[in-house]
């Protein structure tokens, strides 16, 4: 599916299956004013992810955003996230991508081991992001180029993924997930619950996430 990079309104998005993000990490249904929808498409150059979010409350963002480098701690403010595990047999090795309404971003390499989580803070994917706030609708797009870490898939390949949204000032009610992790405290880093992303021949149909 050929998506022009950073075109949040490109018509080809409509051919990609919508993914609802409407539950808190706990599994409880979130109010509609915090719901979001994500779509994932792919091109010859990159993986493309678009979030369309209801935005009925003031944005929680940095007053002095920096977009020329990754912003650690971005997860403490409003942000959309995707965790991607290209090897479905090893979902404990995955990559975290975050994008904020300000254009700030974070990309990290993650390995979950029996002894805890190991983070590659210097992981550099080269991904880019763009955002648009239109009234009470926030749209965030990510473009993640193919690389050794994120290899270009073939039709029929299956990856493991999860998608998230952080919105609002109050924890723990600010943490939404496509597939809730249902941990005692908010925690997105639970690869065993990741869903599947199926890459299909885009001449025939759309990608499938389930």
Q: Considering only the top CATH level, what class is 11-183+193-209?
A: mainly beta
Residue 110 is predicted with a pLDDT of 98
pLDDT at 124 over 70: yes
pLDDT above 90 (res 162): yes
pLDDT at 13: 82
Q: Which residues contact 153 (CB under 8 A, 6 or more apart)?
A: 42, 86, 159, 199
The confidence score (pLDDT) of residue 16 equals: 84
* Overall average pLDDT of the 48-69 stretch: 95
What pLDDT digit, counting tens, does each position of 13-23 carry? 877 889 999 99
pLDDT given for residue 1 in this prediction: 28
**Mean pLDDT of the residues in the chain:** 90
For the chain, what are the domain ranges?
11-183+193-209
C-alpha 144/C-alpha 129 separation (Å) is 9
Q: Are strands 137-145 and 46-54 parallel, antiparallel or unpaired?
A: antiparallel
Q: Is 72 exposed, middle or buried (0-12, 13-18, 19+ CB in 10 A)?
A: exposed
What share of the chain in percent tops pLDDT 70? 91
pLDDT of residue 2: 30
The pair of three-digit structure tokens given for residue 71, joined into one six-digit string: 């912003």
Confidence of residue 152 (pLDDT cuts 50, 70, 90): very high
What pLDDT is attached to residue 118? 97
Distance CA(93)–CA(38), nearest Å, equals 22
User: Which pair of tokens denotes residue 123?
Assistant: 């992981």
């Amino acid at each position: 599916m050929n998506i022009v990079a950073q075109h949040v309104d490109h018509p080809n998005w409509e051919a990609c299956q919508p993914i609802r993000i409407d539950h808190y990490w706990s599994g409880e249904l979130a109010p509609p004013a915090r719901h979001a929808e994500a779509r994932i498409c792919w091109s010859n150059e990159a993986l493309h992810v678009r979030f369309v979010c209801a935005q009925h409350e003031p944005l929680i963002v940095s007053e002095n955003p920096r977009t020329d480098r990754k912003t650690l701690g971005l997860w403490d403010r409003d942000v959309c996230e995707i965790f991607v595990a290209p090897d479905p047999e090893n979902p404990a090795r995955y990559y975290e991508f975050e994008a904020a309404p300000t254009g700030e971003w974070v990309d990290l390499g993650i390995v979950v081991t029996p002894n805890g989580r190991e983070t590659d803070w210097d992981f550099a994917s080269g991904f880019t992001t763009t955002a648009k706030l239109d009234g009470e609708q926030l749209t965030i797009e990510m473009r993640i180029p193919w690389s050794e870490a994120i290899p270009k898939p073939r039709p029929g390949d299956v990856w493991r993924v999860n998608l998230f949204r952080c919105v609002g000032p109050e924890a723990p009610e600010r943490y939404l997930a496509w597939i809730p992790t249902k941990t005692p405290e908010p925690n997105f880093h639970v690869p065993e619950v990741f869903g599947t992303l199926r890459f299909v021949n885009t001449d025939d149909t759309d990608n499938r996430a389930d």
